[in-house]
Amino acid sequence: MPLCLIFSCLAASAAQIPIILSTDVGNEIDDQWAVLYLLANPQFDVMGMVSAHAPTLPPPSAHYTYRVLVDEVENHMDLESHPPLFEGSSLPLADTRSPRGNAGVDFIVGASRAFSKDGRLDVLTIGAATDVASAILEDPGIVDRIRIVAMGFNRWPDGGDEFNVANDPRAWQVILNSDVPVVIGSGDVCRTYLALTPAQAKALVADHGPLGTWLWDEYQDWYYRNVKPLRADDLSKPWIIWDIITAAYVEGLASGESKPRPRLRDDMVFEHPVTGENITWITSVDSKRLWADFVVRLDDFTRTHAVR
């Protein structure tokens, strides 16, 4: 994207929160909820979205993710005009020195140049962090222009091999070894605040137009294939809408605490050297306000767009 276009977009949407989303949408159902919420919410200026890889997807997985992203944005949301979509890396980092160059990384670096320490670009990372780490390796100065808000790790203070982190631990070593500001929403916090049973998910979205119906259908399909226990009459086990924790934090619907910045071992366990540096660890989500806002944005979007 030319810098002049980036500046013009920023001037037109000064009240919005500028973000880039890196997502492995298509791997689970939670990314769909996050993508829809970000695009339907006028508080966010989604400058672009980058597809991330996951080993559970057909290869090349970032291309598969890209096609799912296009389908969701252009078909389900019926957006003829939408933020640019970029294909990221289908492979994790080979080491902590060599970036995986691609169009997504180039976009992150280029878009970030319109920002500074006093006004950072939020990069929401809800998949493997390969492309964000590659952007840091390609342009180390980017750490003064962006903030990373990620869903990852299992809990504090251990860290752990949560799916997004396990898909590229070296990427997280690059991120944590750099000076980039980082906000992390971990698995245990997501389980506490963002779990929905089938009954709760249905009550939340099923009656809210075609997009709500689509989200409910996606939830049901995932639940019956991956979550449902053997007892046919037991639908009490919830599933977690993990990735929306990043949007909740940026919108002010989640709280965090400053923690000493850890380093990541190869086994994905945190080490805690004394460095004087910090990260932000999300500790709670105002899920009542989040879900209320979610359906309001869903209804407003459906009312103002010709969603099929």
Give how far the C-alpha of residue 80 lies from the chain's centroid of Cα atoms, to the nearest Å: 23
- What is the end-to-end Cα distance of the chain in Å, rounded? 29
Both structure tokens of 279: 């990260």
Is pLDDT of 9 > 60?
Answer: no
Q: Distances from the Cα of 213 to the Cαs of 118, 156, 296, 303, in angstroms?
A: 41, 36, 15, 15
- The sign of the dihedral angle between the CA atoms of 193, 187, 150, 130 is negative
Cα torsion at 152, 156, 160, 166 (round to 10°)?
Answer: 10
Structure-model confidence comparison of residues 7 and 189, the more confident one: 189
**Amino acid 227: pLDDT:** 86
Q: 116 pairs with which residues across the strands?
A: 119
Element counts in the chain: helices (H) and strands (E): 12, 12
Query: Among 146-150, 170-174, 206-210, which stretch is predicted with the lowest mean pLDDT?
Result: 206-210
d(CA 31, CA 39): 12
* Contact between residue 142 and residue 135 where contact means Cβ atoms under 8 Å apart: yes
Is pLDDT of 1 > 60?
Answer: no
Is pLDDT of 232 > 80?
Answer: no
d(CA 30, CA 74): 19
Per-residue pLDDT of 98-120, as tens digits, reads 999 999 999 999 999 999 999 99
d(CA 123, CA 126): 10
Is pLDDT of 239 > 90?
Answer: yes
Per-residue pLDDT of 36-74, as tens digits, reads 999 999 999 999 999 999 999 999 999 999 999 999 888
Is pLDDT of 12 > 50?
Answer: no
Domain with CATH 3.90.245.10 in the chain: 3-188+243-282
Both structure tokens of 225: 């294939």
Query: Among 6-20, 64-78, 98-112, 234-248, which stretch is predicted with the lowest mean pLDDT?
Result: 6-20
Cβ-count burial of 6 within 10 angstroms (0-12 exposed, 13-18 middle, 19+ buried)? buried
Average pLDDT over residues 213-233: 85
Both structure tokens of 180: 């980039």
User: Buried b vs exposed e over 102-125: b needs ≥16 C-beta within 10 Å?
Assistant: bbbbbbbbbbbebbeeeebbbbbb
What's domain 3-188+243-282's superfamily in CATH? Ribonucleoside hydrolase-like (3.90.245.10)
* Contact between residue 244 and residue 30 where contact means Cβ atoms under 8 Å apart: yes
